[in-house]
Amino acid sequence: MEFAELIKTPRADNVVLHRPFHPAVEGTLCLTGHHLILSSRRQDNAEELWLLHSNIDSIEKRFVGSLGTIIIKCKDLRIIQLDIPGMEECLNIASSIEALSTLDSVTLMYPFFYRPMFEVLEDGWSSFLLEQEFELLSSVTNEWRLSCVNKEFSVCPSYPAVVIVPKCIDDEALRKVALFRHGGRFPVLSYYHKKNGMAMMRSSQPLTGTNGRRCKEDEKLINATLRSGRRGFVIDTRPLNVAQQARAKGGGFEQEVHYPQWRRIHKYIERFNILQESFIKLVEACNDQSHNMDRWLSKLEASNWLTHIKELLTAACLAAQCIDREGASVLVHGSEGTDSTLQVTSLAQIILDPRCRTIRGFQALVVREWLQAGHPFQQRCAQSAYSNSKQKWEAPVFLLFLECVWQIHRQFPCSFEFNEQFLILLFEHAYASQFGTFLGNNENERAKLKLPQKTMSLWSWVNRPEELSRFQNPLYEANSLVIWPSVAPQSLQLWEGVFLRWNRPSRFLEEAEEERINIIKYNKELQAKVNALRRQLAELETDEE
Amino acid sequence: MEHIRMPKVENVRLLDRLSSRRAVVGTLYLTATHVIFVENGSETRKETWVLHSQISSIEKQATTATGCPLLIRCKNFQVIQLVIPQERDCHDVYISLIRLARPVKYEELYCFSFNPKLDKEEREQGWKLVDLNEEYNRMGVPNNYWQISDVNRDYGVCDSYPTEVYVPKSATAHIIVGSSKFRSRRRFPALSYYCKGNNASICRSSQPLSGFSARCLEDEQMLQAIRKANPGSDFIYVVDTRPKLNAMANRAAGKGYENEDNYSNIKFQFIGIENIHVMRNSLQKMLEVCELKSPSMSDFLWGLENSGWLKHIKAIMDAGIFIAKAVAEEGVSVLVHCSDGWDRTAQVCSVASLLLDPYYRTMKGFMVLIEKDWISFGHKFNHRYGNLDGDPKEISPVIDQFIECVWQLMEQFPCAFEFNERFLIHIQHHIYSCQFGNFLCNSQKERRELKIKERTYSLWAHLWKNRADYLNPLYRSDHSQTQGTLHPQITPCNFLYKFWSGMYNRFEKGLHPRQSVTDYLMAVKEETQQLEEELEVLQERLANLQKSQSGDNKVKSKQQDRSKQTGLYTSNNSLANTPQEYSNDLKSFPSRSPSQGDEEDSALILTQDNLKSSDPDLSANSDQESGVEDLSCRSPSGGGCLPSEDSGKDSDEAVFLAG
């Protein structure tokens, strides 16, 4: 097996593992093709660390005499230190880790080798098909249809094989519209608001260019979502000047003259390297052990992370407001329509649609609005906050979305069926996983890689009752209303569960969560007991009559 | 009443600070004790009540076409913006309020007219709820090392100290008096907390009058006596909570700090908590940030940072942590002082006590703690919180900072405290409200002269009566977090200190989580309790039924059973209907709050009920999805709601594009 070549020293003894808030552990370090394993020599031989190589973001090595130290920084933001006796062993191990954590072929990744130890009750790869979604939609409206125009991924390589479009637009028109939109991403249905029949669509920018090109089919397509005499809103996730500049490169925006029924709103949502830098700065600030109170707040401020959160939430709230309060249809896009666009459409659904606040519904949302919609996970999540690679396509777009969900969750702690741990789980698996769910950049790539056949889906694992119970919010009470979060700075907080996860003592907070669960569990048990007794009594009493 | 020039003004507009479009019109009343705004509109007639003593500043702003704006800032961080149609009326209201908000005699304060309809006995019982004698006994003194001293029985030695203080057994009256003469305002070292487990103690005093070289034998003997009262340790820590520079500056004025060379076996330590003037300015700066209309994230974080507020909170916590560690882990006694020993010393001693002793983390214990370290030891409530008109430079949020320290600890140790955030907020409110007599005056001596206990009511009794509202659902007396000393993380812990919007933006409900986990869990626990009771009744009934069925003489035993159980059956009938009500109650959450105070109080007392009536109705908000207005006015797109269909097109565009 080819991994063997990369592993010069598969095993080292007397290695000491240091982690914050844990006592140091001495044990044996083993390297396998996909894991770094440290097990202590204690009697119970408890496994101490089992780390996926793909979770390693960067490593540093240091030497004091013949004692080598490797500092491993992970994509889930944890930092661990391994003291390895022996210069050569240490160097070998470091270079192996480096090589194994940066494999460039997807098919060498762990999901292709992972053999599940659990029984699959439901194959996650077919749990969330767009056809099912369409069936639900058909029960409330017949204005939409399922189109297979993209079944060969030829019209739009980053779209799934099937999409939902207005019924009155035929496939021929869609092909034309695809040519008018960046990357072929023609407007498709993202969300249908049952309450008032308004729709949210998403796309990429129109290719108007400097000479104001237009496309009748495009106009017809998006107008098809309007009620007669009503207006719609185009939410462009770029500021006006950026959208204007895009025209020089062949992109552009919907001009009023050609889209008289649409009002354009420009919102500024940061992209790519700006987000990545912000992420790096924030994590740096959170890991800084030395600074005093003053510098902490300025560093938090300087990272701009919370500003991005605020901007994104504001844009999502605006989209939701247009649909629910203004009774208008909405089209959301930025440039490519694969990042900020998806952040806005998915968050708006969290606000508007109670279903998206259930575990199952949230999974469906992630599948529909991120995986199927072609968010390039593999590019965006290749590296995390510790990487030095500074590639243009790496950005914590999905993490930002998850954090916004957390912010809303914090403001409506009883309205979500899932808990914070579930969001953290998705963050982890987007960056490194034994499951194939987040591999590839779109459905096209996933099909080519035969992921559904060759790898296990995260959903197959997580939707088993024993796993699911860990991610349930004990406070959940279905709330059928639209939930409007506050976006004031006072209402937004640092997501400690992710950013301070490894450098704060968490015991007391975990105990509190346990306590919350117990209070509710006990209540439910009592309720069941009382009900059973009541039934029993009623039976006895009727017997007696 | 003679100060009220204008008892009633109609057509006054109450502005929403966040959105000018959400103003309501109503009538403004000035009474002897309150400013009351009653909304027009037949259905709700929502009322906003503000006690005069809560008013910290009144600002009359330039008259506009719509009227004359009046800005009232309150000590409980409420900000009220009124627009009064007539300039003359506004002026009269302004002049009246200026006077009403600055009473000159204690008798003008609300507590002397406040009547919760309790008889004399109930009032006396109320004042007995917190008993410091009992508290010292609980700590374990008097004992072999500590005794009560009557040296200050007529306030003869120190007029800001209580009559009864605990001192080391070996400290004679001569030593105490001698030491007192060598200490600012004669505040000699006295016991604040005694740790039964290891004899270590926390003592408090003011700074020594050491100047550059002065010594005092009795003072040195006093510290020696404190050391001897803890046989397990051969030194004591002397903690000066001031920054070193401040302490040194004091030497020029004949004051200063202990010279380690003159005292045998002390270890001297500066902590560096800033003085009341720095703290006052810091709060002012932070409140300016809180008042910003639609701040960006940077505005907010910069402002918070520049205010230095959280840095000060951390300094106080660090001092408390240092002392708790010395006492609990090293078993060393600590003497704490600042300048006069009534501000920073009170903060630090009470934080340390809270960390050390789980009792102070219970509701009753927390009252006792405030009574002990703040009220009895002469924290100058009147001066610090401006109850009577006085020197504005004396005002400083000293106890507010302590209360925030407690909140910060509650955030880190969610199961450790018996009480919840609301308890802290209501105590803060009443420190300023002057509705109860507890916090009046500057010392025990003054309070006795005023006969506070005969003429006013105690807050503690009121809080105790409503204690169900203040419970932390996560608290269990057998939980590990409620045992022993709390150990907050020290490094790196800066990020553990957070802005407390529940306090400083307390009246802007739109900024807070729309669903309260605490209220939800309390409701569940309440239901659980009812279920437990019902379960018991049902089990008993079942047992009886089974017995009667198995019995020979069925009819007879059944009759007996019935007759015996009449009471139960009736109560059962009502219980039998409850499950649906429970679940309905839970479903109607979040409008359900277990914290509704009792009815008869609500009209009279400005506690949570009135506070609630002065709040925007939170539950209605989230139910009705009205959060949407918050969003639009908060969005950086320039504020204002989304335009309605028929509003002008151009201006709409501007609203959105401004972002």
Of B494, B586, B626, the CB nearest to A296: B494
With CB atoms and an 8 Å threshold, state whether B495 touches A292. no
| Strand-strand pairing, A232-236 and A262-266 | parallel
- Could you give the CA distance from residue B397 to residue A171 in angstroms, rounded to a whole number? 69
- Could you give the CA distance from residue B546 to residue A541 in angstroms, rounded to a whole number? 10
Closest by CA position to B110, among listed B648, B645, B605, B626? B605
Q: Tell me the mean pLDDT in the region A177-192.
A: 97
Q: Is the pLDDT of residue B622 over 80?
A: no
With CB atoms and an 8 Å threshold, state whether A477 touches B586. yes
Closest by CA position to B339, among listed B430, B439, B254? B254
| Residue type present at position B317 | M
With CB atoms and an 8 Å threshold, state whether B632 touches A491. no
Closest by CA position to A350, among listed A326, A370, A372? A370
C-alpha triplet A412, A415, A416: angle, nearest 5°: 105
CA distance B362 to chain A (A): 17
Mean pLDDT of chain B: 83
pLDDT score of B637: 33
Q: Tell me the mean pLDDT in the region A289-314.
A: 88
Percent share of chain B, pLDDT over 90: 71
Percent share of chain A, pLDDT over 70: 97
- Could you give the CA distance from residue B422 to residue B428 in angstroms, rounded to a whole number? 10
Lowest-pLDDT range, A254-263, A407-416, B33-42, B338-347? B33-42
Question: Is the separation of the CB atoms in B611 and B429 below 8 Å?
Answer: yes
pLDDT score of B617: 29
Q: Which pLDDT band, with edges at 50, 70 and 90, does B439 fall under? A: very high
Q: Is the pLDDT of residue B612 over 70?
A: no
Nearest CA in chain A to B576: A534
Residues 331-360 of B with CB under 8 A from A: none
Query: For the structural domain made of B8-102, what CATH number should be given?
Result: 2.30.29.30
pLDDT score of B48: 92
- Please tell me what DSSP assigns to residue A101: T
- Please tell me what DSSP assigns to residue B469: G
pTM comes to 0.90
Q: Is the pLDDT of residue B595 over 90?
A: no
Q: Is the pLDDT of residue B573 over 50?
A: no
pLDDT score of B566: 32
Q: Is the pLDDT of residue A175 over 80?
A: yes
Nearest CA in chain A to B409: A508
A37 φψ region: left (φ > 0), alpha (ψ -120 to 50), beta (else): beta
- Could you give the CA distance from residue B108 to residue B51 in angstroms, rounded to a whole number? 12
pLDDT score of A113: 95
Q: Is the pLDDT of residue B74 over 80?
A: yes
pLDDT score of B653: 29
How do residues B367-420 score in pLDDT, each as one tens digit? 999 999 999 999 999 999 999 999 999 999 999 999 999 999 999 999 999 999
Q: Tell me the mean pLDDT in the region A25-43.
A: 89
How do residues B260-281 score in pLDDT, each as one tens digit? 999 989 999 999 999 999 999 9
pLDDT score of A45: 60
By the 10 Å C-beta count (0-12 exposed, 13-18 middle, 19+ buried), B613 is classed as middle
pLDDT score of A292: 67
pLDDT score of B583: 25
Whether residue B276 is annotated as binding a ligand: the answer is yes
How do residues A2-32 score in pLDDT, each as one tens digit? 788 889 899 999 999 999 888 899 999 999 9
The helix, strand and coil proportions of chain A, stated in percent and rounded to the nearest 5, come to 45, 15, 40
- Could you give the CA distance from residue A209 to residue B222 in angstroms, rounded to a whole number? 87
Q: Is the pLDDT of residue B19 over 80?
A: no
Q: Which pLDDT band, with edges at 50, 70 and 90, does A542 fall under? A: confident
Whether residue B632 is annotated as binding a ligand: the answer is no
SS3 call for A505: coil
Contacts B492 to A, Cβ<8 Å: 288-291, 503
pLDDT score of B551: 60
Sorted by where each begins, the domain ranges of chain B are: 8-102, 120-483+492-509
Residue with the two structure tokens 């920054």: B243
pLDDT score of B22: 76
Query: Which of the residues A240, A486, A513 would you substitute to probe the B interface, choosing the one with the greatest number of B C-beta atoms within 10 Å?
Result: A486
pLDDT score of B180: 97
Whether residue B185 is annotated as binding a ligand: the answer is no
What is the distance, to the nearest Å, from the Cα of residue A83 to the centroid of all Cα atoms in its chain? Answer: 34
Mean pLDDT of chain A: 93
Q: Which pLDDT band, with edges at 50, 70 and 90, does B567 fall under? A: very low
By the 10 Å C-beta count (0-12 exposed, 13-18 middle, 19+ buried), A217 is classed as buried
With CB atoms and an 8 Å threshold, state whether B524 touches A520. yes
With CB atoms and an 8 Å threshold, state whether A485 touches B634. no
Residues 388-417 of B with CB under 8 A from A: 412-416
- Please compute, for residue B78, the number of CA atoms within 13 A of its CA located in the half-sphere on the CB side: 26
Of A290, A294, A526, the CB nearest to B305: A294
Whether residue B490 is annotated as binding a ligand: the answer is no
Q: Which pLDDT band, with edges at 50, 70 and 90, does A47 fall under? A: low
Contacts B294 to A, Cβ<8 Å: 488
Closest by CA position to A432, among listed A481, A357, A382, A367? A382
Whether residue B343 is annotated as binding a ligand: the answer is yes
With CB atoms and an 8 Å threshold, state whether A322 touches B642. yes
With CB atoms and an 8 Å threshold, state whether B512 touches A487. no
Residue B3 CB: number of other CB atoms within 10 A? 16
Nearest CA in chain A to B626: A484
pLDDT score of B613: 30
Q: Is the pLDDT of residue B490 over 80?
A: no
The helix, strand and coil proportions of chain B, stated in percent and rounded to the nearest 5, come to 50, 15, 40
With CB atoms and an 8 Å threshold, state whether A310 touches B496. no
pLDDT score of A545: 62
pLDDT score of B111: 94
- B481 reaches A (C-beta below 8 A): yes
pLDDT score of B564: 34
What is the distance, to the nearest Å, from the Cα of residue A197 to the centroid of all Cα atoms in its chain? Answer: 28
State the DSSP string of B55-116: EEEEEE---BTTBEEEEEEETTS-EEEEEES-HHHHHHHHHHHHHHTS-SSGGGSGGGT---
ipTM for the whole complex: 0.94
Farthest-apart Cα atoms in chain B, separation: 99
- Please compute, for residue B618, the number of CA atoms within 13 A of its CA located in the half-sphere on the CB side: 23
- B534 reaches A (C-beta below 8 A): yes
pLDDT score of B325: 95
Q: Which CATH number fits domain A4-103: 3.40.50.1820, 3.30.460.10, 3.40.605.10, 2.30.29.30?
A: 2.30.29.30
Query: Which of the residues A231, A287, A293, A352 would you substitute to probe the B interface, choosing the one with the greatest number of B C-beta atoms within 10 Å?
Result: A293
Q: Is the pLDDT of residue B574 over 80?
A: no
Q: Tell me the mean pLDDT in the region A312-341.
A: 96
How do residues B146-172 score in pLDDT, each as one tens digit? 999 999 999 999 999 999 999 999 999
Q: Tell me the mean pLDDT in the region B466-487.
A: 92
A295 φψ region: left (φ > 0), alpha (ψ -120 to 50), beta (else): alpha
pLDDT score of A59: 94
Q: Is the pLDDT of residue A533 over 80?
A: yes
How do residues A197-245 score in pLDDT, each as one tens digit? 999 999 999 999 999 999 999 999 999 999 888 899 999 999 999 999 9
Give how far Cα B545 sits from Cα of B551, B556, B568, B569, Å: 10, 13, 13, 13
With CB atoms and an 8 Å threshold, state whether A484 touches B659. no
Lowest-pLDDT range, B531-540, B581-590, B618-627? B581-590
Q: Tell me the mean pLDDT in the region B476-498.
A: 82
With CB atoms and an 8 Å threshold, state whether B535 touches A266. no
CA distance A149 to chain B (A): 36
pLDDT score of A62: 92
Of B290, B489, B590, the CB nearest to A504: B489
Contacts A527 to B, Cβ<8 Å: 531, 579
Q: Tell me the mean pLDDT in the region A69-83.
A: 96
pLDDT score of A103: 87
- Could you give the CA distance from residue A525 to residue A295 in angstroms, rounded to a whole number? 49
pLDDT score of B569: 29
- Kindly name the residue from B338, B349, B405, B434 that is annotated as catalytic: B338
pLDDT score of A541: 80
| Strand-strand pairing, A329-333 and B24-30 | unpaired
Sorted by where each begins, the domain ranges of chain A are: 4-103, 130-503, 504-534
- Could you give the CA distance from residue A136 to residue A291 in angstroms, rounded to a whole number? 54
Of A298, A475, A486, the CB nearest to B511: A486
CA distance B656 to chain A (A): 6
B415 classed as catalytic: no
Buried b (16+ CB within 10 A) or exposed e, B427-461: bbbbbbbbbbbbbbbbbbbbbeebebbeebbbbbb
- Could you give the CA distance from residue B395 to residue B386 in angstroms, rounded to a whole number? 6
Of A289, A523, A536, the CB nearest to B492: A289
Which residues sit opposite A60 in a β-bridge? A71
Percent share of chain B, pLDDT over 70: 82
pLDDT score of B493: 63
- B285 reaches A (C-beta below 8 A): no
C-alpha triplet B367, B370, B371: angle, nearest 5°: 85
- Could you give the CA distance from residue A264 to residue A218 in angstroms, rounded to a whole number? 16
With CB atoms and an 8 Å threshold, state whether B528 touches A286. no
